[in-house]
Structures are given as C-alpha cells and as structure tokens.
C-alpha cells in the first residue's frame, strides 16, 4: 500500500492484525457517526484482501444469457435514479460513473466518465485481460531445476509466485506446483548420477531488481499487503495462511530455502547456504513443475485481489511484449495490450499491475469499455475476465459486501472488481437489470471521507442498476 495509505492509524492496524479488514473498517464509521464525538482522522482502510484461501469460485461460471429483446433503460430515467446515489456525501466530491449496455456497447450513463481518477485495484481488470490475451489462457509457468556450475543445482523462477511448499495440489491455483514434488524428482535425478549431496542456488533473474513499487514501504510487506516482486515465491511470500500475514523480505531466497528443506526430506544432503546464482545457458532440466493455467491465475488475482500475483503476471506480459520486467515496463505493456484489444485507453495512466502504487489514474469509461470488450464476440478468450469476478455477497472480495437493505437487490447477481485505498473506493463489473439487460458499470470515488460508508454507497448504486427498469 502506498505511504499515503499508511500515514495514519498504523497502530490500530497492528493491533487488529488477523481480525481482518471488515473489523478494521469499522474504525472509519463509529467515531462521529454512532457517537457525538468529532470524527478523528480516519485510520488507513485496508486494500482488498490478498486471499489467505483460494476464494470461492463463483457459483455460475458463465455469463447470464443476454436477451436481445429486453428493453434498454432510458438514459434520462437512469440518470434520475442514480443522481442522488452518486451525490451521497459518503462518496465525497470527486465521483465518476459509467454505465454501458454490454450487448450493444451503448453508453447509458456518463457522469464524469472521461475524468481520470485513482483506480486502486480495478487496475487488475487490465492486468488480467492483458495476461490472458498476450500470454494465452492455457499457458502454464514451469519452475525448473537444472545443474549448476559445479556440484550444485539451480532452482529457476518462471514467474510462478504461488508455489506450494509441500506437494502440489492439482485442484488449486495456490500451490498447484509443489516444491516437495520438485525436490523428489531432483533427488531421483541426482541419485541417477550417483550423487547424494548438492548446493542450492536460486535464479530469479527473469524479473528486474526493482522489487518495490512507487510509494511502497517495508511496512506494506510487514502488514501483508504485498511482497517484494521476484520471479519465484512460495504462496506469494506469505509467512502464514492469514490474509494479512507478514510477507518475507526476499521471496526468492525463501523459496530456495523451502526447496532445500524438501531436498533434505528426500534424502539429499544440502551443502552450505542457499544463495542466488544464474542457471547455465541450455542446461538440461533435472525436474520441473507446472503452475495452474494463466486463465486460472488471472481469475484468482481478480477474486482475491492479490497484489503480488498481479505484479508477477504484469511482468510476464512485459517480457512477452519485449519490454523490461519492471514496474514501468509492465504498466506500459498492460496498457498497450489492452489498447490493442480496441479499448479506448485515453486518460489511462498505470504505474504497476495491481493498482497499489502511487500515480495511477483511469477514467470510468475505460473500465466499462474493457468489460464490454471482454463480453463481446470478437474477443471470446477474454470472457474469464468477467466470469471469474467476485459475486456480490458470495465470493472473493465481495463476500462481505451488499449486505444492507439498500444493496440487497444486487446480491448474487452483480460481479465486480473492488478497489480500496485511503480516500479511494472503486468498483467495476456487470449486473443484469430488472428487465434482463446486462449492464457494465464503473464507479470511482477518490476523495471519500471514510471507506466503509463509501463502499455501502457504491453498493447502493449497483443495486439501483439491478432494480432498474428505468423506462
């Protein structure tokens, strides 16, 4: 999380720890609202949870059928219905909204929709779409072990930062590839050579060395918002299964240490400390494990809003585009890839692949344009960008949203990507109208007084869309 997000309330965050973002956000609403005391400076809201468990897959992993005969909402009626909700003081003075009919691409509401605003984690929509388009949805990431220069093996990172420390789980995204399996195969390969001992090196040279994004601090790592970006990691650098578990300072070396531990368990003597090294060119592969396909990884990063995974995926997009695997390179590659899909990126400025860094700005219209593009017949391979989004009240970062009466109308039907930073609340996704018309929407507010009331206000906007015949 950028430094501006952590400037206030750090002690409160530390005390809350594993209680999670839902409890912590209560600190935004109780003082000054449920009491008569003046509201103090709000503590930092939490970013979307990075997902200690694989978030539940949406119950219906397809888009609802689009009824071409269903009537479109009337623009004037829709504007009249949404105007008071968008003017809710909980959203602050700087609010943009875009509503577009998914079937036709026809804009139905444009309230400052072309004004760039801070997007927070809705940036991940661009990253997921770029990854599926450029890398290919079926592509997997291969983590390998090769022989090193002398009596050593080299663990080579491929961008998979969701390795499992133990055996791989074929049904999971997190931990699909397991270091225990990799170590067992490596031990067998060494035994075939008559070797029972080895040194271990880690080659994480696939990505550049700029591991911390613009505005990130070590506190972001300690609080579990993100890990330093390397081309190999176990469980995105988490130290435990808690959503906001502290991340390790060096995920690549930590992965190497976990691999060495598994080698020992497989009967191999590991000599010396695990250090960095570079794999020899064209070295034969001793062992290899495969990640989940890119489509599943993209779905995971959207549901869990995992910042570390988003940054690793964005760097793979940069490499495929022939650009440096840096924050700047990945931001450029993602933007150019999305533009190549026909999305209007006028006003889009990305600074990373997750939305966590300082300096990003995106118009609401660009987000709805991307959503409509993903739903269209021309780019059917992008459909998972929509179908893997969290479902209101049921999965991912929307699990605890849309719970109030004002938002109940969209419960179970809206699918959307959340975004939260201090002073920023965003949401972009799709929702069917009362008449069966599928609508793409984006609401961006980047000067909100407090996070939890702003979230409820945005949810109410989406619920109004769900209940709108607006004719």
Which one of the listed residues 121, 330, 395, 420 is annotated catalytic?
A: 121
Which one of the listed residues 96, 158, 231, 305 is annotated catalytic?
A: 305
Q: Which two tokens stand for residue 399?
A: 């699990």
447 Cβ neighbours under 8 A, 6+ residues apart: 92, 93, 94, 423
Q: Which two tokens stand for residue 422?
A: 């201090």
Give which of 93, 99, 94, 95 is closest to 79, Cα–Cα.
99
CA atoms within 13 Å, Cβ hemisphere of 96: 23
∠ CA(414), CA(20), CA(120), 5° rounding? Answer: 55
CA 327 to chain centre: 15
Residue 464's CB is within 10 A of a number of other CB atoms, namely: 21
Contact by Cβ (8 Å): 358, 4:
yes
Known catalytic membership, residue 420: no
Rg for the chain (alpha carbons), in Å? Answer: 23
Which one of the listed residues 96, 98, 124, 158 is annotated catalytic?
A: 124
Enter the DSSP assignment of 94.
-
Bridge-partner residues for 200, per DSSP?
A: 153
Give the end-to-end CA distance of the chain in Å, rounded to a whole number: 43
Contact by Cβ (8 Å): 2, 357:
yes
389 Cβ neighbours under 8 A, 6+ residues apart: 58, 302, 303, 396, 415, 416, 417, 429, 430
**Plot region of 287 (φ>0 → left; ψ -120 to 50 → alpha; else → beta):** beta
Alpha-carbon distance 92 to 97, whole Å? 13
Active site residues: 121, 124, 305
């Amino acid at each position: 999380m950028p430094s501006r997000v952590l400037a206030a309330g750090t002690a409160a965050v530390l005390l809350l720890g594993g209680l999670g973002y839902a409890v912590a956000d209560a600190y935004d609403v109780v003082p000054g609202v449920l009491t008569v005391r003046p509201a103090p400076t709000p503590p930092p809201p939490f970013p979307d949870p990075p997902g200690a468990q694989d978030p539940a897959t949406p119950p219906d992993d397809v888009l609802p059928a689009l009824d071409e005969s269903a009537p479109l909402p009337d623009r004037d009626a829709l504007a009249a219905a949404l105007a008071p909700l968008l003017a809710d003081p909980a959203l602050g003075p700087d609010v943009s909204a875009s509503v577009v009919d998914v079937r036709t691409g026809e804009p139905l509401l444009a309230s400052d929709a072309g004004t760039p605003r801070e997007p927070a984690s809705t940036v991940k929509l661009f990253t997921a779409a770029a990854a599926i388009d450029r890398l290919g949805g079926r592509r997997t990431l291969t983590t390998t072990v090769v022989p090193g220069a002398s009596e050593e093996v080299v663990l080579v990172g491929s961008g998979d930062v969701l390795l499992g420390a133990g055996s791989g789980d074929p049904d999971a995204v997190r931990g699909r590839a397991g270091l225990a399996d990799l170590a067992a195969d490596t031990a067998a390969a060494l035994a075939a050579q008559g070797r029972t001992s080895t040194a271990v090196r880690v080659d994480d040279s696939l990505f550049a060395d700029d591991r911390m994004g613009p505005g990130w601090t070590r506190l972001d790592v300690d609080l579990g918002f993100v890990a330093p970006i390397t081309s190999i990691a176990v469980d995105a650098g988490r130290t435990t299964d808690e959503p906001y578990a502290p991340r390790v300072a060096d995920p690549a070396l930590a992965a190497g240490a976990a691999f060495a531990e598994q080698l020992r368990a497989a009967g191999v003597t590991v000599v010396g400390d695990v250090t960095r090294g570079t794999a020899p060119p064209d070295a034969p592969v001793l062992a290899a494990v495969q990640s989940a396909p890119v489509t599943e990884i993209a779905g995971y990063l959207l549901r869990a809003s995992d910042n570390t995974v988003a940054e690793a995926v964005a760097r793979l997009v940069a490499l495929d585009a022939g650009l440096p695997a840096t924050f700047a390179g990945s931001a450029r590659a993602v933007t150019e890839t999305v533009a190549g899909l026909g999305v209007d990126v006028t006003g889009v400025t990305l600074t990373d692949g997750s939305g966590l860094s300082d300096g990003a700005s995106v118009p609401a219209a660009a987000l709805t344009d991307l959503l409509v593009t993903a739903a269209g017949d021309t780019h059917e391979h992008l459909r998972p960008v929509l179908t893997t989004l969290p479902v209101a009240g049921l999965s991912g970062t929307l699990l605890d949203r849309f719970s109030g009466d004002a938002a109940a109308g969209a419960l179970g039907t809206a699918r959307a990507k959340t975004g939260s930073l201090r002073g920023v609340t965003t949401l972009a996704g799709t929702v069917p109208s009362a008449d069966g018309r599928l609508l793409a929407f984006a609401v961006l507010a980047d000067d909100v007084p407090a996070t939890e009331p702003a979230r409820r206000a945005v949810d109410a906007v989406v619920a109004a869309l769900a209940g709108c015949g607006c004719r």
